[in-house]
Amino acid sequence: MPITERDVEKIAELAHLELTEEEKALFTRQLASIVRYVEKLNELDTEDVPPMMHAGAEEEADYAQRDDEVLTSLGQETALANAPDKARGFFRVPRVIE
């Protein structure tokens, strides 16, 4: 499926971005290039490739297997010390769902 300038306009609208005509043309070319690359990757036969557990090489996976270390936490008072609005020990935030 080719990427069109209308696709870029829709993405920009969803992201609340204002793009110039030059940016639309540039992003259309760039996104089309990315999609072509992914389509090319999808052509690879990965049937016999085992899934990865880590992004690094197997011999570098030791970092993910270190022992857990218990550390002290900030505590409620310290965490809330610089909060602009707090109530009964919690952060107060503006309502986002009506």
User: How many CB atoms lie under 10 A from the CB of residue 31?
Assistant: 15
Q: Measured between alpha carbons, how far is 91 from 85 in angstroms, rounded to an integer?
A: 6
Structural domain of 31: 5-42
Q: Measured between alpha carbons, how far is 88 from 80 in angstroms, rounded to an integer?
A: 11
In a domain, 54, yes or no: no
In a domain, 59, yes or no: no
In a domain, 56, yes or no: no
In a domain, 50, yes or no: no
pTM, whole model, 2 decimals? Answer: 0.51
Strands 90-91 and 86-87: antiparallel
**CATH number assigned to the domain comprising residue 30:** 1.10.20
Are 25 and 5 in contact by the 8 Å Cβ rule? The answer is yes
pLDDT tens per residue, the chain (98 residues)? 789 999 999 999 999 999 999 999 999 999 999 999 999 999 999 999 888 766 666 666 555 566 788 999 999 999 999 999 999 999 999 888 87
DSSP letter assigned to residue 56:
S
Total structural domains within the chain: 1
- With tokens 């089309």, the residue in question is 32
